[in-house]
Amino acid sequence: MGVSKKTNTEVKPGGAYSPAWFLLLLVLIFGQLLGCTKDGKRSKDDRKLGRIYDKTLYLSDMEGMLPEGITGEDSTVIINTFVRYWMREMALLNEAEKNIPKDLNLEKLVADYRASLIKNNYGNIVMNRLLDSTVTTVQLQEFYEKNKEQYQLETPILRCRFIKAPRNAPGSDKAQDWWNSSKGEDFAELARWCSQHAAVHHLQDSTWYNVDDIAAYMPQGTLTVDNVDNHRDFIQRDENFVYYFKVLELVRKKEIAPLSYIESQARKVILHKRKTALLEELKDKLYEEAMRKKNMEVYE
């Protein structure tokens, strides 16, 4: 891999790698390298990429971190750019090391963090094996009845049908007829028309929206949290667009959100409580096992 000796020039991504992909690659490499810089003996031909204070970055430190098949130009770009990122981080680390408080117990912090990582990893393994992730309709309803007072709305929400389409879109007259029709086949035609011509369309009857989210697609002031009660069903035009809007259900501010609106959040809460209970049960089981096998003592 070619490596430029200069470290103060601007480098731009090149080759077949897009800027977004290039940035992601740098982040991944950077995260790996900060945690696994090699120690000990190195080969004589191991090339130095950069040094800052007492820390040195070698080419071998990046072994296995670059994609297979990468071109020499792209690898040079990635390495040179990374060297500067690494130096900035090491400069901060050097300063931080000089300012470690005397009462900071690094060994304990590292040990605590290691223990936390190990426990979390094992907890995840146990959860994947034992946790029942099924949440039934009955369980959701029971949770909702016990906790619904916590879900008072801060802004109105609604289920609605909404279309924003160009005024000159082909078939606009038919679209208005389909919109006003109550026939299922006409609604299907309207949906197909929207997929081809509408700038925005929301036709899912079960989906909830904040009023402001729908209002953002309309001319300012057309729909607001204060006038939505009086603007439940209309067709409006401006110079460029036609707006179709119909409220199917409105829940006002300060009212309790319906279960269908908070269902996803409710599932997460139920599963979190279930996970917590399972972990506590596991702790009790392991504690009792250690006590039964006489692998524990309490010193007075």
Whether residue 15 is predicted with pLDDT greater than 50 in this model: the reply is no
Q: What number is the average pLDDT over the span 7-21?
A: 46
Is 160 found in the same domain as 245?
yes
Residue 30 vs residue 295, higher pLDDT: 295
Whether residue 123 is predicted with pLDDT greater than 70 in this model: the reply is yes
Question: What's the pLDDT score for residue 6?
Answer: 40
Is 283 found in the same domain as 158?
no
Residues sharing a CB contact under 8 Å with residue 87, sequence separation 6 or more, in sequence order: 7, 50, 52, 57
**Residue whose structure tokens are 């110079």:** 239
Give the model's confidence band at 11: pLDDT under 50 very low, under 70 low, under 90 confident, else very high: very low
**Residue whose structure tokens are 């949770």:** 143
170, HSE (Cβ side, Cα atoms, 13 Å): 5
Domain annotation covers residue 57? yes
Closest CA to 62 of 34, 87, 89, 43: 34
Instruction: For residue 152, give the DSSP letter.
Output: B
Is 227 found in the same domain as 190?
yes
Contact (Cβ atoms closer than 8 angstroms) between residue 282 and residue 126: yes
Q: Residues 207-250: pLDDT tens digits?
A: 999 999 999 999 999 999 999 999 999 999 999 999 999 999 99
Is 283 found in the same domain as 165?
no
Q: What percent of the chain has pLDDT over 70?
A: 84
Q: What number is the average pLDDT over the span 259-288?
A: 94
Is 143 found in the same domain as 157?
no
Domain annotation covers residue 128? no
| Token output for 137 | 């309709």
| Token output for 217 | 């697609």
Q: Residues 177-201: pLDDT tens digits?
A: 999 999 999 999 999 999 999 999 9
Is 59 found in the same domain as 83?
yes
Summarize the chain as % helix, strand, coil (round to 5).
50, 15, 35
Question: What's the pLDDT score for residue 65?
Answer: 66
Dihedrals phi, psi of 204, to nearest 5 degrees: -80, 110
Is 167 found in the same domain as 91?
no
CATH number assigned to the domain comprising residue 179? 3.10.50
Closest CA to 267 of 145, 124, 143, 151: 143
Question: What's the pLDDT score for residue 208?
Answer: 97
CA atoms of 292 and 141, how far apart (whole Å): 42
The domain of 235 spans: 153-250
Contact (Cβ atoms closer than 8 angstroms) between residue 82 and residue 30: yes
Is 216 found in the same domain as 196?
yes
Is 224 found in the same domain as 195?
yes
Residues sharing a CB contact under 8 Å with residue 7, sequence separation 6 or more, in sequence order: 50, 80, 83, 84, 87
Region of poorest pLDDT, from 21-25, 134-138, 200-204, 216-220: 21-25
Question: What's the pLDDT score for residue 60?
Answer: 84
Give the model's confidence band at 44: pLDDT under 50 very low, under 70 low, under 90 confident, else very high: confident
Q: What is the pTM of this model?
A: 0.63
Domain annotation covers residue 86? yes
CA atoms of 82 and 1, how far apart (whole Å): 14
Residue 27 vs residue 155, higher pLDDT: 155
Closest CA to 71 of 30, 29, 17: 17
Whether residue 116 is predicted with pLDDT greater than 80 in this model: the reply is yes
Closest CA to 26 of 187, 70, 42: 70
Neighbours of 79 (CB within 10 A): 22
Question: Which residue type sits at 298?
Answer: V
Question: What's the pLDDT score for residue 18?
Answer: 54
The pLDDT mean for the chain works out to: 85
Region of poorest pLDDT, from 76-90, 125-139, 202-216, 274-288: 76-90
Question: What's the pLDDT score for residue 32?
Answer: 54
Question: What's the pLDDT score for residue 64?
Answer: 67
